Amino acid sequence: MATVRGLRHLLTCSRWRRGSGEAPQSRTLAAIVPGISQVDNNSDFLGKTPHRRHPGILQLPCIEVPPALAAAAQFLLLGSSMPNVEKQVQALTNYLWSRRLPVEPQELQRRAVHLEKKFLENPDLGQLEEKLREAVLRALRKTTYHWQELNYNESLSLVYMAARLDGGFAAVSRAFHEIQVRVPEFQPQTLMDFGSGTGSVTWAAHSAWGQSLREYLCVDSSAAMLVLAEKLLKGGSESGEPYVPGVFFRQFLPVSPKVQFDVVVSAFSLSELPSKADRTELVQTLWRKTNHFLVLVENGTKAGHCLLMDARDLVLKGKEKSPLDPRPGFVFAPNKKKQKDEKFSMVILARGSPEEANRWPRIIQPVLKRPRHVHCHLCCPDGHMQHAVITARQHGRDLYRCARVSSWGDLLPVITPSESELPLSPADDPPGS
Ligand SMILES: C[S@@+](CC[C@H](N)C(=O)[O-])C[C@H]1O[C@@H](n2cnc3c(N)ncnc32)[C@H](O)[C@@H]1O
């Protein structure tokens, strides 16, 4: 569990430096002060790069759906004779954004027992078993969230496309962008997309790694969705050359446990599964099929976030033992952020060692810019939280300016001490006070 720490170390370090009479922080000097929050300048990461483009910035200013995809979607919508499309799109959007997790059978049982006890205190109900049962069922029906499985037939698939194609594409593009920026040498050759729907993941992956990807496997239990995704790739028709070569469509996951993919994705599909047991099994299967990165994306809602935290824990706690790939997993990118109008949750899990990938803390709330100081809430590489108040005077111009141009979701190019290295004495007043 992460601990919330105060302003302590950034402020403490600046006092220490002032006390020791050092010269104002320079880029190189900052990098050699041990155990202290400081600009990570080991590799002179800024070089000639302006602060506003420091390498921790992961924002995508504006994501555009590829014109070929937008045109194909429009063509299909115009060609359909569906009545009240706009109303249906609104209804589906509302449903998806308000959707909660299905109630688990054990939880239902627990609630039923609780209600039964309560009703037994009522002498009228307590004597008649039948009456009691009915009362319990009625109360359960009234108070329990009714999760519904969606049947993605031809018309619902089209409505889903109209409602979610752009938002889904944007969220997944942002996740891929994170990998691209942080591991530019990663050139995946194969990708599997579980619950592929309209195929927006394939389009986003093609935009990100089109040069290297040679196989995209789209898995979706809905035959109608698979047909729609294929049509979108062919400009809205059933024939012709697909816009992206090497895309394969399947209704089931590949059976062989030996087959792995460089990138495995599930976008907005874990929330389609009816129970925790189904989700557990799926995440374990997807992780087994992951060679490098497992990218999970869900809506930026409490339900979406919970799904991803469960999935993350499942992989990290190693309940799944992959007989073929013993490399452990680590969280490459935990995040919950606002992107354009699309609020989504994501977790990217990677195989291998976290040391290199996770050396900078992530900004986990909007950055508050105030006169001559900036408030940054950080999630540090060792998992602890830090509320840092950064000023040019105390932390140097580089860190201050990098912080000032950063946003929620970016990495701050700074070395933070691990929690155990933090000074024990509570510091400090806010700077400038
Ligand atoms: C909400 S859509 C997401 C589509 C797509 N990933 C996107 O980002 O737009 C969920 C998809 O998961 C598919 N799905 C649901 N349960 C599935 C299962 N057990 N196996 C494969 N696909 C499934 C549905 O048919 C649907 O196309």
pLDDT for res 141: 87
Q: How far is the CA of 295 from the centre of ligand 1 (A)?
A: 15
Q: Output the residue whose Cα is nearest ligand 1's atom 12.
A: 195
Q: Output the residue whose Cα is nearest ligand 1's atom 13.
A: 195
Q: What is the pLDDT of residues 240-296, one digit of tens each?
A: 899 999 999 999 999 888 899 999 999 999 999 999 999 999 999 999 999 999 999
Q: How far is the CA of 115 from the centre of ligand 1 (A)?
A: 36
Amino acid at 262: D
Q: How far is the CA of 419 from the centre of ligand 1 (A)?
A: 41
DSSP state of 274: S
- pLDDT beyond 50 at 139: yes
Contacts of 46 (CB under 8 A, 6+ apart): 27, 54, 398, 413
- Of 206-210, 218-222, 263-267, 421-425, the poorest mean pLDDT is in 421-425
Among 221, 249, 270, say which to mutate for ligand 1: greatest number of ligand atoms within 8 Å of CB: 221
Return the number of other C-beta atoms located less than 10 Å from residue 351's C-beta: 20
Beta bridge partners of 350: 293, 330
Among 150, 272, 301, say which to mutate for ligand 1: greatest number of ligand atoms within 8 Å of CB: 272
CATH topology of domain 150-356: Rossmann fold (3.40.50)
Q: Output the residue whose Cα is nearest ligand 1's atom 14.
A: 195
φ, ψ at 316 (rounded to 5°): -70, -35
- pLDDT beyond 50 at 179: yes
| Atom in ligand 1 nearest the alpha carbon of residue 199 | 5
- pLDDT beyond 70 at 303: yes
The total number of residues written for the chain in this structure = 433
Among 191, 269, 286, 342, say which to mutate for ligand 1: greatest number of ligand atoms within 8 Å of CB: 269
Q: Give the whole-angstrom CA distance, residue 404 versus residue 374.
A: 6
| Atom in ligand 1 nearest the alpha carbon of residue 96 | 1
> Helices (DSSP H) in 99-153: which residue ranges?
105-120, 123-126, 129-143
DSSP state of 365: S
Pocket around ligand 1 at a 6 A CB cut-off: 152, 164, 168, 195-198, 200-201, 219-222, 225, 267-269, 272
pLDDT for res 26: 31
Amino acid at 270: L
DSSP state of 430: P
* Secondary structure element (H or E) that encloses residue 404, with its range: helix 397-404
